[in-house]
Amino acid sequence: MELTFLGTSAGVPTRSRNVTAILFKPGDQGSGRWLFDCGEGTQHQLLRTASHPGNIEKIFISHLHGDHIFGLPGLLCSRSMAGSVAPLTLYGPEGLREYVETCLRLSGSWTDYPLEIHEIEAGQIFDDGDLRVSAASLVHPVECYGWRIEQHDRPGTLDARGLAAAGVSPGPLFQKLKKGERVRLEDGRVIDGREWLGPPQRGKTVAIFGDTAPGPAALMLANGADLIVHEATLEHAMAEKANSRGHSTSRQAAALARDAHAARLIITHISSRYSPEGAAALLAESRALFPETELAEDFYSASL
């Protein structure tokens, strides 16, 4: 899995930071991508990556504030104008369907590909057998969600050397054995793949937060995550102002990562009031509580 930050500013863009959007590569296979939020200018940011709107299979909208959705109508239309016919699914709060349909109708636009819009509630959103995605309700002035992406455990490594010593030749049978299936050999022996697999490989977990003040759902969303992406709009001295507007500080994001026993934290959604030096100070505040903190910049990538 890999995340690429297309926008890392809060509220309004700056010279170096666009507003919120995160491109997510769900696995090692295929070119499909997911997008988390779609602030104004997201399709311009995509032009500076190896991806394009046609690669995007799913878009998750945390909430309907403009810095998270004003880029969505343009991206949907560009995807159609580029000739993409691949289906696209949107997930987000109540009102997302009305917003998209109204923008398309009033602008005389349309999509030439299947477009599904799911207005969600907290809970499991889907499980495709490889990844399970759940949503949690966050503390913000409007309905807002965070996302927990859990990769199913992988089968352990197949003991190919031991199988070869037992007279099992590499080939199609190995694929079945790696899945833990039973196979019958030409000599009549039955081999149980489960007996030739090492311990399962634990799947990775990523928690991506929308805008939020500290709240009761945060720990559940972040618990044990390999990576947390969390806003750090303001510095700790401005906690009261941040929380009153449904936002968090650098130290509050770090405290959550620490209490959730997470492996890594990436802070983003940085207020436009901060220069690069100010953003570095936010990072230092987070690292004082949770050393494994990174500061997102536009086009910064993180792999798991």
Question: Is 269 assigned a ligand-binding role in the annotation?
Answer: yes
125/133 Cα distance (integer angstroms)? 6
Residue 67 is among the residues annotated as catalytic for this protein? yes
Amino acid at 116: E
123/134 Cα distance (integer angstroms)? 5
Question: Is 44 assigned a ligand-binding role in the annotation?
Answer: no
Question: Is 259 assigned a ligand-binding role in the annotation?
Answer: no
Question: Is 211 assigned a ligand-binding role in the annotation?
Answer: yes
Q: Compute the C-alpha angle 277/282/283, nearest 5°.
A: 95
Identify the active-site residue in 67, 153, 159, 226: 67
What 3-state DSSP class applies to 115?
strand
Question: Is 140 assigned a ligand-binding role in the annotation?
Answer: yes
Question: Is 68 assigned a ligand-binding role in the annotation?
Answer: yes
133: part of which helix (H) or strand (E)?
strand 131-137
Question: Is 63 assigned a ligand-binding role in the annotation?
Answer: yes
Q: Which residues pair with 154 in a beta bridge?
A: 201
Alpha-carbon Rg for the chain, nearest whole angstrom, is 22
86/93 Cα distance (integer angstroms)? 23
- The half-sphere exposure of 214 on its side-chain side, counting CA atoms within 13 A, is 15
Q: Assign residue 274 a region (left: φ > 0; alpha: ψ between -120 and 50; beta: otherwise).
A: beta
- Report the catalytic residues: 67
Which positions make up the binding site for Zn(2+)? 63, 65, 67-68, 140, 211, 269
Which positions make up the binding site? 63, 65, 67-68, 140, 211, 269
